[in-house]
Structure 1
Amino acid sequence: MFSLNHKKAVVTGGGSGIGQAIAVALAAQGAEVHIIELSTDKATATLSQITQAGNQAYSHACNVADQAAVGQAFSQIGPINILVNNAGIAHIGKADTTTEADFDRVMQVNVKGVYNCLFAGIPQLRQAGGGVILNMASIAALVGLPDRFAYSAAKGAVKAMTMSVAKDYIHENIRCNSISPARVHTPFVDGFLQQNYPDQVAEMFEKLSKTQPIGRMARPEEVAALAVYLCSDEAGFITGVDYPIDGGFTTLNN
């Protein structure tokens, strides 16, 4: 089950965290994985992990916010079967504390970046006879999170784009779904705690972990396991769905 043999997958932001876990998991199931990152250096660790396991992976340097660069990268990759739009950036701030520059930066990467990859990727999926698009949304698109104004707006857009694409391409054998994680223990979380709470890292890590009713953060590999399923033929009857993977956050936190 869940074989991805003879499938070609693109994973944006596959150099670390959730994207890295997804790239590694897709490759382990037999997919040829193409990682899009800001620089090839950022993809080195993921490439090494995949190739050392005897699987196929390639990297492409590209800023997803740059439509011309995205188009060039997808042209080099050619027809694909799977597109995972994972690249994104975080931001902390309320509506009246988020600067215009920060708001624009989040939208450029988290919204326009997804659009750019859809714009370039859908013709390549069509050329392959159809396939799967998986977008990385967030529980921030589903519930109100404090100090996440721009990020929530962007992830809400990703969820809406997912539903639109699922509707528009259902008759072209292209499925589109999204995943909405709660907190996931990635290097970003460790860096955030070290930068903002250098004297309370363990205490704050515990506090953030317990905001999920299940009592911990997700592991990137758990998100990747869901991604593998949604990208596989076993999920062939699933499209236009957002999947919270949140330790009960959106349903039990009341």
Structure 2
Amino acid sequence: MPLDDYQGLRVIVTGGASGIGRATARRFLELGARVCVLDLRPEGAPAGAEQVEVDLGDRPATTAAVERAAELLGGIDVVVNNAGISAVGDVTANDDEEWARVLSVNVTSMARVTSAALPHLRRSTAAAVVNMASIASYAGLQERVLYSATKGAVHAMTLAMATDHLPDRIRVNCVNPGTVATEFVDRMLQGFPDPVAERAALDARQPTGRMVTPEEVAETVVFLASPRNASTTGTSVAVDGGMYGLRAR
């Protein structure tokens, strides 16, 4: 991608201090964008990124964090709603408190961040929102009922947001990664009796025979955010090693 497409682009990345978010923030920086990471523990953000500490489960704090990011960057052109947390188990496994917590971070925080950023996005000539969904949005995965519910909601919300903001010329898309080799997955695996065996199973279920890398997902995020993709909105892009559409022997 030509660097000029991203020079000076002002980008906020939630959950940008680890995993997919960190890889995404780093890639935007490499391409010449200005980046602010919003995270509960932002110290892991890549060098060169602005950092704002925030609990995205709190609306006033989120609004204030987005405003601070806009101050640091001189505005906002791109919002990457990446922050998310794990949940493991069947429909009996998670109590109401956990349902509320995971929905708040994985779904409602995207609404909080985007809502707070809207005044800035409406002033941008290259406005884009990229939401992080998942293979769990459309493929039934074992022991992932709560997590799947949140990611299905992200996919549906992306389509609704894209429709609402057509008049604003704000493009809204989402990325559906397969299982990505991140710290997030490492933590999730600790909830299983045999984490090593479960990791091998995660590799094996991708048709490519391995988990997706954070850098591969980041490339798709920056592609969707490119000002050249002015006609790409309301789209879901799979980065899943063929997991959704292929049935390899």
> Above 0.5 in TM-score?
yes
Question: 2 CA distance for matches of 1:126 and 1:249?
Answer: 36
- TM-score, scaled relative to structure 1: 0.90
Q: What is the RMSD of the two structures over their aligned residues, measured on CA atoms? A: 1.7
Q: What residue is the counterpart of 2:225 in the other structure?
A: 231
Between the aligned partners of 1:130 and 1:172, the Cα distance in structure 2 is 11
1:246 is aligned to 2:248: no
Whichever residue aligns with residue 242 of structure 1, its letter is S
SS at match of 1:150: helix
1:209 to 185, 199, 203: 203
The one of 82, 85, 93 equivalent to 2:81 is 85
Give the Cα separation in 1 of the matches to 2:57 and 2:37: 16
Q: TM-score, normalised by structure 2?
A: 0.92
How many aligned positions are there?
Answer: 242
Query: Alpha-carbon deviations, 1:98-130, whole Å to 9, x = none?
Result: 211111111111111111011101121112245
- Counterpart residue number, 1:128: 124
Q: For residues 30 and 98 of structure 2, what CA distance do their matches in structure 1 show?
A: 37
- Quick check: which one's helix share is greater? 1
Shift of 1:2: 4.4
Relative to structure 1, the CA distance from residue 96 to residue 2 in structure 2 (aligned partners, 3 Å threshold; closer, same or farther) is farther
Q: Distance in 2 between matches of 1:67 and 1:76?
A: 14
In structure 1, stretches of 5+ residues that fail to align are 52-56
Partner of 1:35: 37
The answer to whether residue 56 in structure 2 is matched with residue 60 in structure 1 is no
Closer, same or farther in 2 for the Cα pair 1:98/1:253, shift >3 Å?
farther
2:241 aligned counterpart, secondary structure: coil
Moved over 4 A (4+): none
Q: Among 130, 150, 155, which residue is 2:151 paired with?
A: 155
The residue type paired with residue 7 of structure 1 is: L
Structure 1 71/212 Cα, relative in aligned 2: closer, same or farther at 3 Å?
same
Aligned in 2, Cα 1:2/1:65: closer, same or farther, shift over 3 Å?
Answer: farther
* One-letter code aligned to 2:178: A
Query: Which residue is equivalent to 1:44?
Result: 43
In the TM superposition, what is the alpha-carbon distance from 1:193 to its structure 2 partner? 3.5
The AA in structure 1 aligned to 2:37 is I
Distance 2:234 2:23 in 1: 23
1:11 partner SS: strand
Q: Is the contact between residue 207 and residue 242 of structure 2 (CA under 8 Å) also seen in structure 1? A: yes
Helix, strand or coil for the counterpart of 2:36? strand
CA contact (8 A) 1:92 1:147 kept: yes
Cα distance, 1:172–1:136 mapped onto 2, change above 3 Å: same
Identity percentage over the alignment?
A: 37
Aligned-residue offset at 1:189: 2.3
Q: CA deviation at 1:232?
A: 0.8
